[in-house]
Amino acid sequence: MDQKYLVEVENLKQYFPVAGGKLFEKKVVKAVDNVSFGIKKGETLGLVGESGCGKTTTGRTLLRLYEPTAGKIYFEGEDITKANMLPYRQKMQIVFQDPYASLDPRMTVGDIIGEAIDIHHLAASKKDRQDQIISVLSTVGLNSEHANRYPHEFSGGQRQRVGIARALAVDPQFIVCDEPVSALDVSIQAQVVNMFEQLQEERGLTYLFIAHDLSIVKHISNRIGVMYLGKLVELADSYELTFHSVHPYTKSLISAIPIADPKTSRTSQRIVLEGDVPSPVNPPSGCRFRTRCPYADELCAASEPEWREVSSGHYAACHHLDKVN
């Protein structure tokens, strides 16, 4: 546990049981497998990786929306792995990826936000409650009229604003933003990302910002972690990760980002990965990335690479950093 972090996870594991194993054989999906990181107060930690690598599970387990299989979770230095979460639910919120599925269609927007206020007894009176609802709606660019409407009456971008308002209504310190813009039209993604940034500046919020696209998180994040098949493979300052990544998987993600100006030539070689992500039920032995890694050899199959600090604040897990870089 490190005091400089607002939120920290240590050796976090989340294994889900899966059906279909042989009799007496318990199969599990190792959705998150021994992941450790911290998030400093006021910063945004980006978390990226391909679909199914465990980003959402990491975010939800860290909030104890799923009970961890193993590992520790700390908030403000307190071990909350087994704590009663009610007081922490107010401090730690989530904005979901899908603004269509995450809002109850039978409730008005006012009631959706009001419910969050009620759970934590944050309103002194009915009028105070109504004022708080209107105030938080205006914070996200909506108004008092919107409070009486139902989610289906809103556009995707507006719904996500409602989801953000619901999270903000309890005045949290930390928000897991689980791909909050990926379901939205590209034209409004930037607006919503800007809103997250502005809210952070005004309220000193701390974010875990999940995305599968590095191009979205590299602007908003102070630091970025890269996941592959339930593991963190690299974590560094955003600039460092974007320009001096050391892990072959991160390099492949970065080389997949289109370059805006075609006249600018790439300084690094384009790495195209072959094959698909293996199943997290039967992950490869040793390094999980080895089946798609151009540098893999026997060592990678035989042993798992250690997660280590390669330069100040820059972590990676790879046996062949010298060969790769």
- Asked if 163 is part of the footprint of ligand ATP (rule: CB under 6 A), the reply reads no
- We find the least distance from the C-beta atom of residue 17 to ligand ATP, in angstroms, to be 8
- Asked if 93 is part of the footprint of Mg ion (rule: CB under 5 A), the reply reads no
Residue 107: C-alpha distances to residues 35, 139, 149, 182, 193 (Å): 37, 20, 9, 24, 26
Residue 90: C-alpha distances to residues 30, 86, 96, 162, 319 (Å): 29, 7, 16, 17, 42
The encoded tokens of residue 19 equal 């059906």
In single-letter form, the type of residue at position 137 comes to: L
- Asked if 212 is part of the footprint of ligand ATP (rule: CB under 6 A), the reply reads yes
Single residue of 14, 44, 56, 200 touching Mg ion by CB under 5 A: 56
Of the pair 170, 207, the CB lying nearest ligand ATP is at 207
Q: Rule CB under 6 A: which of 27-46 touch ligand ATP? A: 29, 31
Q: Rule CB under 6 A: which of 51-80 touch ligand ATP? A: 51-57
Of the pair 29, 63, the CB lying nearest ligand ATP is at 29
- We find the least distance from the C-beta atom of residue 212 to Mg ion, in angstroms, to be 8
- Secondary structure element (H or E) that encloses residue 236, with its range: strand 231-237
The encoded tokens of residue 1 equal 């546990």
The answer to whether 304 and 232 have CB atoms below 8 angstroms apart is no
Euclidean distance between CA atoms 225 and 302, whole angstroms: 25
Of the pair 212, 314, the CB lying nearest ligand ATP is at 212
Euclidean distance between CA atoms 192 and 190, whole angstroms: 5
Single residue of 38, 280, 283, 286 touching ligand ATP by CB under 6 A: 280
- We find the least distance from the C-beta atom of residue 55 to Mg ion, in angstroms, to be 5
Q: Nearest-CB residue to Mg ion?
A: 56
- We find the least distance from the C-beta atom of residue 19 to ligand ATP, in angstroms, to be 10
Q: What is the DSSP letter of 325?
A: -
Residue 73: C-alpha distances to residues 1, 12, 28, 77, 322 (Å): 9, 8, 22, 9, 33
Residues in contact with Mg ion, shown as a per-residue x/- string from 182 to 221 under the rule CB under 5 A: ----------------------------------------
Of the pair 59, 110, the CB lying nearest Mg ion is at 59
Pairing of strands 308-311, 314-316: antiparallel
Of the pair 16, 295, the CB lying nearest ligand ATP is at 16
Of the pair 211, 233, the CB lying nearest Mg ion is at 211
Q: Of ligand ATP, Mg ion, none, which one sits near residue 53, judging by CB under 5 to 8 A according to partner kind?
A: ligand ATP
- We find the least distance from the C-beta atom of residue 47 to ligand ATP, in angstroms, to be 9
* Secondary structure, 3-state, 38-59: EEECCCEEEEECCCCCCHHHHH
The answer to whether 49 and 227 have CB atoms below 8 angstroms apart is yes
Give contact residues for ligand ATP (rule: CB under 6 A): 16, 29, 31, 49, 51-57, 212, 280
Give contact residues for Mg ion (rule: CB under 5 A): 56
